[in-house]
Structure 1
Amino acid sequence: MTLSMLLGEPRVITVGASVLGEALDQQAVPRTPVDWRPPLPGTSEALARVLADPRRERANALAVGRLLSARPRLVGVRPAHEVLGLEPGTFFHAGPPVTWERASGPMRGALIGAMLFEGLASSPEEAERRLASGDGITLDSCHHHRTVGPMAGVVSPSMWMFEVADAEHGGTAYCSLNEGLGKVLRYGAYGTEVVERLRWMGEVLGPVLQATLRRTGPLDLRSLIAQALQMGDELHNRNRAATSLLVRELAPAVVEAAPERAAEVLRFVNGNDHFFLNAGMAAAKVSADAARNVPGSSLVVAMARNGTEFGIQVSGLGDRWFTGPAGVPDGLYLGAYGPEDANPDIGDSTITETAGLGGFAMAAAPAIVRFVGGDVADAVAATTSMYEITLAEHPAYQIPGLGFRGTPVGIDVTLVARTGLLPVVNTGIAGRVAGTGQVGAGLVSPPAEAFTAALEALTLP
């Protein structure tokens, strides 16, 4: 065997560090590269125990099957106090639970704006004093109430919510209406124009959309998302096609339901390419919730950030949060803003990645790179790498540029630990100072410790 190796052409396999492979390439030596990465540090023992769990394979098949078979439909638009039982002084927010003391700048700004909007304070200073003292104030995570909120994600009683129902499994999820980009509440802005816009949304936009959906009946969001993917959206930071499709479905009924308000409502939606995002987030939430509470499952059913921490929830571990520090996105900045102006990652919109959209579907949206940075090859590479840490390919959400392959869906904690690959997230960037608003958009990686902590918890009885 040694002689044959000396006489024949070498067959080289390169693993790990690229230096040797590059040297062979320079010498025109054929090689077979193997894309191998070590597992996340310190996970070997826990990984072996979780992989040995006899429940895991069947539990994951059940959980991801429920996620894939969910049929989210937009069934209504209703006030938060009505559908969520929100009382004055109670606010839901994005991400794992957080206190005022630990809240980031944009989270504080959004809470101040919500206080002003609800008439619980007459000035930002008064709002901040009341929030800091906790006098009559209750904060809780949106995810604890079947709700998701983009960026700061603050929901107050008078806000109107998209209501999305799962026609297959019977769940319901909610998300607030989208304000647009720039200086908006969800990015922590709370100026007069922000509060006035929220009041118009409560007095005009919400009621008109409510009356519209009563005319149209439920809208099939699963089908709409599937179409938008084939038109160049990835449903997190690019929603232009999805918003256009939604307007096409709603416009005639808007005119019929509220002829005197139709022009201003349609003009507002038309000027906001991200209007569909919030309905899409609720669709992803109700789909992921269908996969919850399957004993032994290592499937991730929520990823969320509050501007301080990034947290995940796992199907087999109930409502427990596993967290680590939120990172600052790497991306493109608006105007004179730069990384020093950026707040760490924030928002519930990573529910889209949890359901196989957003960063997991960037290969469907080549234009997204003009918003978050990089080039088209980077977008394709991001999506293809996610097949390594997911359990399935979505049967309805398909990517034309990959031969109509389904998007990677169903993040598995064990696959994250085995490969060392972390989920790809594309996101907006909020200014770190309360009141600033949006300063950019980019890509960010979750903290590895959130996944290692969840893996360790799966080893316990």
Structure 2
Amino acid sequence: MINIGLPLFEESIRGQGAPVIGVDWQIPCGGESDVISALARLMGPKSSIVDAANAEVVARLNNGAPLLKGVERAGAVVPGMSERTLLHCGPAIAWADMCDPLRRSIKAAIVAEGWAGNIEAAARLIASREIELRPANEHSTVVPMATVIGPSAPVYVVENEMGRTIAFSSINQGAGETQWFGVDSSLAIDRLFFIRDVIGPVIGEAIARRGAIDVLSLAAQGVVMGDDVHIRVQATTCLLLRDLLPFLMRISRPGAGEAADFLSRNHTMFLNIAMAAAKSLVDSAAKVENSSIVTTMSRNGVTYGIRLAGLERWFLAAAPPIQKALYFPGYGPEASTADIGDSAVLELIGLGGAVSANSPAVAGFLGGRMADAIAATRKMQRICAGESRSFLLPILENAGAPLGVDVRRVVELAITPAVNTGVIHAFSGAGQIGAGVASAPIDCFTQALMDLDQRIM
């Protein structure tokens, strides 16, 4: 017998000893007739236009070659950033609507910029509206978790010469009491000074001595070594530091020893570099019109936003909770903020949740078995338009990681991208309390699908 849909019937038949095959199927689009009609047009009469655009998007994601060129002051290189601008994660959001960790991060950034002497004064300055708060994504920049950067912050400069795009990201702040985890303590602010005054110049000089670094080459090696290059980047970070080691050893500037100590302890160092590389790829792909592939996916702890190739408009939904997580002792879901950060850009280029199948560390968040991690990657395959040529999965016979999230498939199958992410405390300023996997809300994908249908005549 063949059972289509509800597994209850399949289980009942199997329980009686009869042979049965279950087909995982449900009514597309939740049965909403207008959405089904739009999907039918985009996968029918309009599909030739969409498919041609999607092929070009996948080609740009695959053919790009992001190179880490150096470290610069954000205000000097980030387009459209003034000397009174702060860039935050996720879609645009008003101060009054922000989650607690993002507010704390903004106040810490203001003190680090020297615009206020303490956290209380920073809050008053925000109320005066003298500071411009902008989404980093709209300035060719991506920042992880609750990170906020001002003009004096050092940023990685990554150039995708094939796609003629340049992208930027902050320098990773490491573990402990840090601003990127939504902490505004004196220790978190001191870390920002340390990153700006010591780590940024040291890494910048090392890269200048070494020359441009092929980011995807390092990431590809890291994937084979068990990284998803999102919540686990230990292997790739080690590869980066090995590459830079001869040049770091030749640096004699003050603080070089402290920088070495910090770099040896920070296993997430490569994360921000990978994010900037991913941003350079998706920004190139975003120039293609009439595509159904997602080129922006980001969250600010309150809203979850996506953008399609060829379109600057955001499609928004409520940021989801972290559905599958491992928490530090003493913490649980009740203390977790909703999904936050720009790092979901990694899932759009075939990293993060897309390569879960090859990462035992990620399997730990999905039930503990590699079969669960493989199932997560299989789901991503069902909603993606192509395969990565850079990131191969040995556990899946070297299949390319799923690449190019297609809103048509997402809406039809009701499968949204799974994003590997950290978990931070929602209201106490305690910082990171765990890590896990969050599934994107489907509403923003449905909105994007409907808009695409209206735009293609």
Fold shared per TM-score above 0.5: yes
Tell me, yes or no, if the aligned pair for 1:108 and 1:434 is still in contact at 8 Å: no
1:58 corresponds to 2:52: yes
Tell me, yes or no, if the aligned pair for 2:365 and 2:437 is still in contact at 8 Å: no
* Identity over aligned pairs, percent: 38
Equivalent residue for 1:383? 377
Equivalent residue for 2:249? 255
1:47 corresponds to 2:39: yes
Equivalent residue for 2:99? 104
Q: For 2:61 and 2:6, locate their aligned partners in 1 and report how far apart those are by CA, in whole Å.
A: 37
Residues 114, 260 of structure 1: alpha-carbon distance in 2 compared, 3 angstrom cutoff: closer
Equivalent residue for 1:323, pick from 308, 316, 319: 316
1:93 corresponds to 2:85: no
1:295 corresponds to 2:284: no
Q: For 2:338 and 2:254, locate their aligned partners in 1 and report how far apart those are by CA, in whole Å.
A: 43
Q: For 1:456 and 1:206, locate their aligned partners in 2 and report how far apart those are by CA, in whole Å.
A: 44
> May I ask how many residue pairs the two structures share in their alignment?
448
Equivalent residue for 1:81? 75
TM-score normalised per structure 1: 0.94
Of 393-402 and 12-21, more deviation after overlay is shown by 12-21
Equivalent residue for 2:158? 164
Equivalent residue for 1:5? none
Tell me, yes or no, if the aligned pair for 2:366 and 2:373 is still in contact at 8 Å: no
Q: What code does the residue aligned with 2:293 have? A: L
Equivalent residue for 1:196? 190
Structure 1: gaps spanning 5 or more residues? 1-11
Of 122-131 and 244-253, more deviation after overlay is shown by 122-131
Q: For 1:434 and 1:159, locate their aligned partners in 2 and report how far apart those are by CA, in whole Å.
A: 25
Tell me, yes or no, if the aligned pair for 1:147 and 1:173 is still in contact at 8 Å: yes
How far does the alpha carbon of each residue in 1:131-180 deviate from its partner, in whole angstroms, 9 at most, with x for none? 1331x110111111110000123111111111111132221110000001
1:413 CA displacement: 0.5
Q: For 1:36 and 1:387, locate their aligned partners in 2 and report how far apart those are by CA, in whole Å.
A: 16
Q: For 1:374 and 1:422, locate their aligned partners in 2 and report how far apart those are by CA, in whole Å.
A: 21
How far does the alpha carbon of each residue in 1:407-440 deviate from its partner, in whole angstroms, 9 at most, with x for none? 0010001011111111111111121116321121
1:297 CA displacement: 0.6
1:123 corresponds to 2:115: no
SS in 2 for 1:436: coil
Greater RCO (CA < 8 Å, at least 6 residues apart): 1
SS in 1 for 2:250: helix
Tell me, yes or no, if the aligned pair for 1:142 and 1:153 is still in contact at 8 Å: no
Q: For 2:355 and 2:123, locate their aligned partners in 1 and report how far apart those are by CA, in whole Å.
A: 39
Equivalent residue for 1:24? 13
1:264 CA displacement: 2.2
1:289 CA displacement: 1.3
Q: For 2:252 and 2:18, locate their aligned partners in 1 and report how far apart those are by CA, in whole Å.
A: 71
SS in 2 for 1:457: helix
Q: For 1:277 and 1:455, locate their aligned partners in 2 and report how far apart those are by CA, in whole Å.
A: 31
SS in 2 for 1:459: helix
SS in 1 for 2:320: coil
Matches within 5 A, 1:276-425: 276-316=270-310, 318-330=311-323, 331-370=325-364, 374-425=368-419
1:374 CA displacement: 4.4
Equivalent residue for 2:127, pick from 123, 132, 138: 132
Q: What code does the residue aligned with 2:411 have? A: A
1:439 corresponds to 2:433: yes
Tell me, yes or no, if the aligned pair for 1:372 and 1:441 is still in contact at 8 Å: no
Tell me, yes or no, if the aligned pair for 1:81 and 1:87 is still in contact at 8 Å: yes
Q: What code does the residue aligned with 1:62 have? A: E
| Bigger radius of gyration | 1
Q: For 2:133 and 2:204, locate their aligned partners in 1 and report how far apart those are by CA, in whole Å.
A: 27
Equivalent residue for 1:113, pick from 83, 104, 108: 108
1:109 CA displacement: 0.6
Q: What code does the residue aligned with 1:109 have? A: R
TM-score normalised per structure 2: 0.95
1:301 CA displacement: 0.3
Residues 326, 198 of structure 1: alpha-carbon distance in 2 compared, 3 angstrom cutoff: same
Matches within 5 A, 1:439-458: 439-458=433-452
Q: What code does the residue aligned with 1:94 have? A: C
Tell me, yes or no, if the aligned pair for 1:391 and 1:409 is still in contact at 8 Å: yes
Q: What code does the residue aligned with 2:327 have? A: Y
Q: For 1:209 and 1:258, locate their aligned partners in 2 and report how far apart those are by CA, in whole Å.
A: 12
Q: What code does the residue aligned with 1:31 have? A: V
SS in 2 for 1:208: helix
1:274 corresponds to 2:263: no
1:294 CA displacement: 1.7
Structure 2: gaps spanning 5 or more residues? none
Q: For 1:258 and 1:64, locate their aligned partners in 2 and report how far apart those are by CA, in whole Å.
A: 44
Q: For 1:30 and 1:373, locate their aligned partners in 2 and report how far apart those are by CA, in whole Å.
A: 28
Q: For 1:373 and 1:286, locate their aligned partners in 2 and report how far apart those are by CA, in whole Å.
A: 33
1:367 CA displacement: 1.9
How far does the alpha carbon of each residue in 1:304-349 deviate from its partner, in whole angstroms, 9 at most, with x for none? 0011100000013x11000100011021111212211111111000
1:395 CA displacement: 1.1
Equivalent residue for 1:7? none
Q: For 1:406 and 1:46, locate their aligned partners in 2 and report how far apart those are by CA, in whole Å.
A: 30
Equivalent residue for 2:24, pick from 16, 35, 38: 35
Q: For 1:426 and 1:50, locate their aligned partners in 2 and report how far apart those are by CA, in whole Å.
A: 30
Tell me, yes or no, if the aligned pair for 2:108 and 2:189 is still in contact at 8 Å: yes
